[in-house]
Amino acid sequence: MERGVFFQLIVTFGTISLMAIGGANAVVPEIHRQVVDILGWMDAPTFARLFAIAQTAPGPNIMLGSIIGWHVAGTAGLLVATTALLLPSCLLALASSRGLQRFGGSRVVRIVTLALVPIALGLMLASGVVAMLAADAGLVGYAITVATALVTYRSKVNPLVPMAAGTLVYVLAWSVGIA
Amino acid sequence: MSSLDTASEAPRPSLPDLFTGFLKIGLMGFGGVGPVARHIIVAERNWLDDRGYAELMGICQALPGANTVNAAVMLGDRFRGGVGALTCVFALMAMPLLCLVGLANAYDAVSSHPLAQVALTGAAASAAGLILGTAVRLLTRAGLARWAWVMAAAAFVAVGLLRLPMLPTLLVLVPLGLIAATLGARRV
């Protein structure tokens, strides 16, 4: 059973590694589909909470995979999931870097970027929607999501500030019984 | 790619230099590592100039994976080969992963408490808003062509609303995007 979990972590996150165009914020829906809908490792609210914790930690945003690995198989799971998420894309980056230095190819880079940026941004928007629905926080939750989105859109404030504010508002709303 | 070699004037950073630089990037990047990475790589350590950094980020954007992780691989490899790449990625991830383990254990300790569940549900709702706001900001400022808006909308609808699996979605959208980008680039 344990070995099966590790194998599954490697397969799932190793594949997602190469699909993460624009970083992990593009693959939240796919991670959700895999770990909640297909593998049944957790329910949607738990997924949303792990997602929130990963957003709170410093560092690259691929750590959503790390904390899911931790949730299903502890520290070993965290290391396996993180490695599976990093290794394929890092090897591709290494090969691309060396290839570009040897052969040039800034035109290819430009065309690939032109092609991928709009897809990555559409996927990021999808990630936001899937995360919002997974949080399952009711009307107050939707209001907090929209307010945080507006603040993020309009200002360059550190993301931890609106996150702390949203959390506080939700706890207050819960304590007076409207959430 | 010549501007990527600008650092040749400066001494090539050593493995300990790379390690401490990326350790700092990982540790300071609360709420997004992008700005911190730029500050340390360009201003503090002088590993690349502005143009070199922009070029590096351009390549990172064309690759899957987090931009900063890809930048760590490419800079590490350029200065110190495969060992350098490994050093940079390890340094970048070490402190964030330790923090994450700390947060995860704290979550475990309080997760049976209803207030902790409520607080994290609120945090999750906000975190979703962070991603939505960032996506909208980038979408409105990316100066996308009309075909690119169609691609973004198709990706959003397929994965976000229809909840289609991502691999087949990408296998359709990425080739279409490449064709459109090639035709668009030819016209300019």
What string of DSSP letters covers B64-120? Answer: BS-HHHHHHHHHHHHHHHHHHHHHHHHHHHHHHHHHHHHHHHHHHHHTTSHHHHHHH
Cβ distance of A62 and B66 shorter than 8 Å: yes
Residue A5 near chain B (CB below 8 Å): no
AA letter at A33: R
What residues of A are in contact with residue B31 (Cβ under 8 Å)? 58, 158-160
Among A25, A92, A126, beta carbon nearest to B63: A92
Query: Chain B residues with CB inside 8 Å of A139's CB?
Result: none
Cα–Cα distances (Å) from B36 to A122, A131, B40, in that order, read 25, 26, 6
pLDDT value for B58 = 87
- In chain B, what residues touch A112 (CB-CB under 8 Å)? 62, 178, 181
10 Å Cβ neighbour count for A105? 16
Closest CA–CA distance from residue B92 to any residue of chain A (Å) = 7
Q: How far is CA A36 from the centre of its chain?
A: 14
Give the tens place of pLDDT for each residue, A17-63.
999 998 888 999 999 999 999 999 999 999 999 999 998 888 787 88
Percent of chain A with pLDDT over 70: 99
Tokens 């790589």 — which residue?
B41
pLDDT tens for B39-65 read: 899 999 999 999 999 889 889 988 999
Q: How far apart are CA B84 and CA A97, in angstroms?
A: 13
**Any idea which residue has 């770990």 for tokens?**
A35
Among A16, A27, A151, the residue with its CB nearest the CB of B133 is A151
Interface with chain A: mutation pick from B78, B98, B130, highest number of A CBs within 10 Å: B130
Residues A124, A27: Cα–Cα separation, whole Å: 8
| 8 A C-beta contact, residue A127 and residue A28 | yes
Helix/strand/coil (H/E/C) assignment for every residue in A14-70: HHHHHHCECCHHHCHHHHHHHHHHHCCCCCHHHHHHHHHHHHHCCCCCCHHHHHHHH
pLDDT digits (tens, 9 = 90+) for A60-119: 878 899 999 999 999 999 999 999 999 999 999 999 999 988 888 888 888 999 999 999
Asked if A172 has any chain B CB less than 8 Å from its own CB, the reply is: no
Mutation test of the interface with chain A: which of B63, B87, B97, choosing the one with the most A Cβ atoms within 10 A? B63
A14 has pLDDT over 90: yes
Q: Answer whether A11 touches B (CB < 8 Å).
A: no
Nearest to B134 by CA among A136, A123, A58, A137: A123
Assign A150 to helix, strand or coil.
helix
Select from B16, B73, B69, B65 the least CA-distant residue to B45: B16
- Contact criterion met (CB < 8 Å) for B92 and A59: yes
Phi, psi of B144 (to 5 degrees): -75, 140
pLDDT of B7 reads 46
Given a cut of 50, is residue B1 above it in pLDDT? no
Which SS3 state, helix, strand or coil, does residue B10 take?
coil
Chain B interface includes A148 (CB < 8 A): yes
Averaged confidence pLDDT in chain B: 89
Q: Please give the torsion angle defined by the CA atoms of residues B64, A76, A4 and A133, in that order, rounded to the nearest 10 degrees.
A: -60
Residue B64 main-chain phi, psi, to 5 deg: -70, 160
The ipTM (two decimal places) reads: 0.92
Are residues A54 and A134 in contact, defined by beta-carbon separation less than 8 angstroms? no
Specify the higher pLDDT residue, A3 or B81: B81
Angle (CA) A110 A114 B57, round 5°: 60
Question: How do residues B95-145 score in pLDDT, each as one tens digit?
Answer: 999 999 998 899 888 888 889 999 999 999 999 999 999 999 999 998 899
Output the six-digit token pair for A78. Answer: 């965290």
Tell me which chain B residues have a C-beta less than 8 angstroms from the C-beta of A25.
131, 134-135
**pLDDT band at residue B30 using 50, 70 and 90 as cut-offs:** low
Min CA distance, B183 vs chain A (Å)? 10
| pTM for the whole structure | 0.90
Tell me what pLDDT residue B32 has: 64
